[in-house]
A and B are shown apart, each in its own frame.
Chain A
């Protein structure tokens, strides 16, 4: 398993735990308070440790194949995120019409969910490509 694979596996685990806690808690304490669990996504930052050089100084951590895989995964994540984001925005407008309103406290929740969706899609795309490319 390459360092990049380890990093994205770690990312997926962090996102899965975060959203599992969020969705489990939301019915009991409300979306706003359960949104506190979304802060756990800050642990994604620790994924960078997998890319640190260890052992031999000549060890290659990432190469052209890793970069190509990550680049394609970025495009896949962008396309899927954008499609879902547009569908969600237009869908809400179609359902609630011009006079609908979203409570302002939902904005950080939407932001974290968007980030989580982006990261999860990118990590899944990376891991699939390591099996096929």
Chain B
């Protein structure tokens, strides 16, 4: 099931935060942020929670299943 995310929009809404800056805040490489934003990589639950924490949003607002999420 495909996972969508709002990371790019949230970064721009937060003073155009760079991928590098976000990566440092959550303790991953910039390439991982790029992979998550492009939907190539689904982050682990702890990383997803850390990303949501950076933007002070609930995790389901940052990550969601594509469509209605039902199989």
Residues of A in contact with B (beta carbons under 8 Å apart): 1-2, 58-66, 130, 132-133
Distance A124 CA – B9 CA, assembled complex (angstroms): 34
In the complex, which residue of chain B has the Cβ closest to the Cβ of A61? B29
Q: How many contacts A-B (CB < 8 Å)?
A: 34
Cβ contacts under 8 Å, A63 to chain B: 27-29, 32
Distance A124 CA – B43 CA, assembled complex (angstroms): 23
Residues of B in contact with A (beta carbons under 8 Å apart): 23-24, 27-29, 31-32, 35, 40-41, 43-44, 47
Q: Which of A1, A58, A59, A65 has the most CB of B within 10 A?
A: A65
Q: Are B24 and A60 in contact (CB under 8 A)?
A: yes
In the complex, which residue of chain B has the Cβ closest to the Cβ of A64? B44
Given A63-B29, A63-B32, A65-B35, residue A133 in contact with residue B23 (CB < 8 A): no
29 inter-chain pairs at a CB distance below 8 angstroms, sorted by A residue, are A1-B31, A2-B29, A59-B24, A60-B23, A60-B24, A60-B27, A60-B28, A61-B29, A62-B29, A63-B27, A63-B28, A63-B29, A63-B32, A64-B28, A64-B32, A64-B43, A64-B44, A64-B47, A65-B28, A65-B29, A65-B32, A65-B35, A65-B41, A66-B29, A66-B32, A132-B40, A133-B35, A133-B40, A133-B41
Distance A64 CA – B31 CA, assembled complex (angstroms): 12
Distance A2 CA – B49 CA, assembled complex (angstroms): 23
Distance A64 CA – B40 CA, assembled complex (angstroms): 14
In the complex, which residue of chain B has the Cβ closest to the Cβ of A56? B24
Distance A63 CA – B46 CA, assembled complex (angstroms): 12
Cβ contacts under 8 Å, B31 to chain A: 1-2, 65, 130
Q: Are A60 and B29 in contact (CB under 8 A)?
A: yes
CB distance from A49 to the nearest CB of B (A): 17
Cβ contacts under 8 Å, B35 to chain A: 65, 133
In the complex, which residue of chain B has the Cβ closest to the Cβ of A60? B29
